[in-house]
Amino acid sequence: MNVVSLNDKIHKRSGHIAVPYKNTMIVWGGYMERVLESDLEITYSVYHHTDELWIYNGINDSWFRILTHGDIPPMVSGCCGLICKDRLYTFGGHLNMQENNDFGGAVNNLFCLDLLTRKWTHLTPSGKEPLACDKLVGWVYKEKLYFFGGFGLAPRRYYPFDHVPESEDTRWSIGWNNQFVCYNIKENCWEWPQTKGTLPLPRAAHSADITGHLVYVFGGRLRHIRNNELYCLNMETMKWSDNLIDQTLRTGFEVPEGRTWHSFTFISPNQAVLYGGLSQHNAVLSDCWILNVKHGGRSVQWETLGTDWNHPLLWHKSVCIPATGDVLIHGGLKRSLLALSTTNNHAEDLLILYFKPPSLLRLALNSVCSNFKQLENHITSLPKVLQTIVRRRIVMKTTQ
C-alpha cells in the first residue's frame, strides 16, 4: 500500500492553488502522481483532499494544516483561487473523475471559504453563468473577482467571447476560450464587462497578476502554439493594450520564449517575476525573468535573471510574501506531461527566490534548526512561541 507522506501532501502537487494571505501562503487542491507498479513505472493520479488547507508562514518558514467544514468543494485540478479580505474563492477546474461528465470534466462551480470560521459555502450567483473551464486566470479589483480564458466545452448558446475547438470533428468539442467574466461579491451575481481595444485570443495555462489598476496577462496555449504574448488591461478604462512583446522587440531587448504552466507574480508595483513553464518545444524551463513596468504602465522591459536555475518546473504556483519580499514557488512538475516516465516527476520542496536580505529572526531560526541536535537541550530556554516554531520545523524536516 502506498502511504502518502506529510511532505508529499504538502509539496507534491500540480493543478493546485497557492494564494497570499497575511504574510502566509495558502495551498489547496490539485493532484499528484503515484506509482502503481514501480517496475513498469505505471502511475495514477491522486487528488488532494479539499477539506484541508496547508499554510506556510513566510515570516518563520513553518507549515501547518487547517481543516475546514461546510460545503466542501469537489476535488479538482486547474481551478482559480482568489483572496478577497478574509475569504478564499475558488472557481472552475477539472473534476477528479475517471470518466468525463457532460462538461468534459470541467466545471464552473464557485465556492467561498470564510478563513475566520473555516466554513465553505457553495455560491449560486444570479445572471448568465460562465463557461465551465479549467487552466484559467483571475484577479481581484475593487472587491470584484475577474476571470479570463481557460479550456473547456464549447458553449451551446451565445456568449460574448470566442471558443476555438481542440478538434473540428465534432460541433461541441472542448477547446480554448477568451471569456472575460466578473463575479460581483456584494450583489452575488455574474457580470460580463464590456472592454475596449482588442480582446486577446483564446488561451489556457497562461498567467496573470495585477498591480494597482493594471492587469498583465502573459503566455498561454492556443492549439499547437505556446505564445509569449503580453497584454495589459487597464481596469479603470477597461481597455486592452496591444501585444506589448511587439513593443519590446522593436527596442532590441530580450524577451522570454513562449510558454504555458509558468508563474508570473508582482513583487513591487513596478516589477513582476516570471518563472519556468513548458516551452513551445515541450522543454520544462528553469529560467527567471523580471518584467519592469515603466511610465505608468505605458511601456515595459524584460530583464533576464538567468536561463537555468537548475530547478525546472511547470504547473507550479508562486506567491510573493510582502513582509519579506520572497517569492515562494510551490509544487509543480519537473518533467513534461508528455514524458514517457513520470516517476519522481513532482517537486519535492519549496523553491524560494530572495529579493531582500533575510531578517535576523529568520537567520537565527535557520541556524537553530540546522543545528538542532547540538542545541536540543537548550530549546526550552527559548520563548514558547519560538519553541513551537522550531519543533514544527523539525517535525516537517524529519518526515520528509
- Chunk the chain into consecutive blocks of 10 residues (it has 400) and report each block's average pLDDT, rounded to whole numbers: 73 95 96 69 81 92 94 96 98 76 75 98 97 97 97 87 81 86 98 96 98 98 96 97 84 89 97 96 95 87 86 96 93 80 75 89 87 88 88 72
- Structural domain of residue 394, as residue ranges? 359-399
* Residues 202 and 162 placed together within one structural domain of the fold: yes
Q: Which amino acid is at 18?
A: A
How many CB atoms are located within 10 Å of the residue 388 CB? 14
**Is residue 341 a part of any domain in this protein?**
yes
Phi, psi dihedral angles at 128 (to 5 degrees): -70, 115
* Residues 267 and 389 placed together within one structural domain of the fold: no
How many structural domains is the chain composed of?
2
* Residues 394 and 270 placed together within one structural domain of the fold: no
- C-alpha cell read off for 337: 506531461
Cα–Cα distance measured from residue 204 to residue 276, given in angstroms and rounded to the nearest whole number: 16
Contact 216, 264 (CB under 8 A): yes
Per-residue pLDDT tens digits for 105-136: 899 999 999 999 999 999 999 999 999 999 99
- C-alpha cell read off for 130: 460562465
Contact 329, 321 (CB under 8 A): no
* Residues 338 and 395 placed together within one structural domain of the fold: no
pLDDT for 193: 97
Residue in 58, 24, 79 with CA at minimum distance from that of residue 205: 79
Residue in 61, 56, 65, 66 with CA at minimum distance from that of residue 21: 56
Give alpha helix (H) positions in the chain.
6-11, 244-250, 360-370, 372-375, 384-398
Residue 251 CA: distances (Å) to CA of 107, 158, 254, 300: 42, 41, 9, 10
The crossing angle, in degrees rounded to 10, of helices 360-370 and 384-398 is: 50
* Residues 88 and 199 placed together within one structural domain of the fold: yes
Contact 155, 165 (CB under 8 A): no
**Is residue 255 a part of any domain in this protein?**
yes
* Residues 304 and 265 placed together within one structural domain of the fold: yes
Residue in 345, 370, 390 with CA at minimum distance from that of residue 8: 345
**Is residue 345 a part of any domain in this protein?**
yes
**Is residue 1 a part of any domain in this protein?**
no
How many Å from the N-terminal Cα to the C-terminal Cα in the chain?
A: 18
**Is residue 64 a part of any domain in this protein?**
yes
pLDDT for 22: 92
CATH number at residue 131: 2.120.10.80
* Residues 345 and 368 placed together within one structural domain of the fold: no
β partners of residue 112: 89, 121
Using DSSP's 3-state secondary structure scheme, residue 57 falls into strand
Contact 272, 211 (CB under 8 A): yes
* Residues 41 and 125 placed together within one structural domain of the fold: yes
* Residues 277 and 198 placed together within one structural domain of the fold: yes
Using DSSP's 3-state secondary structure scheme, residue 82 falls into strand
**Is residue 76 a part of any domain in this protein?**
yes
**How is residue 348 annotated by DSSP?**
-
Cα–Cα distance measured from residue 334 to residue 347, given in angstroms and rounded to the nearest whole number: 6
Contact 205, 220 (CB under 8 A): yes
Residue 157 contacts by C-beta under 8 Å, 6 or more apart in sequence? Answer: none
* Residues 166 and 148 placed together within one structural domain of the fold: yes
Q: Could you tell me how far CA 140 lies from the centroid of its own chain?
A: 14
* Residues 254 and 394 placed together within one structural domain of the fold: no
**Is residue 160 a part of any domain in this protein?**
yes
**Is residue 260 a part of any domain in this protein?**
yes
pLDDT for 156: 83
What is Dmax (Cα atoms) for the chain? 71
pLDDT for 376: 85
If you write DSSP's letter for every residue of 223-237 in order, what string do you get? TTEE---EEEEETTT
Cα–Cα distance measured from residue 121 to residue 110, given in angstroms and rounded to the nearest whole number: 9
* Residues 248 and 387 placed together within one structural domain of the fold: no
Residue in 130, 196, 187, 122 with CA at minimum distance from that of residue 159: 130
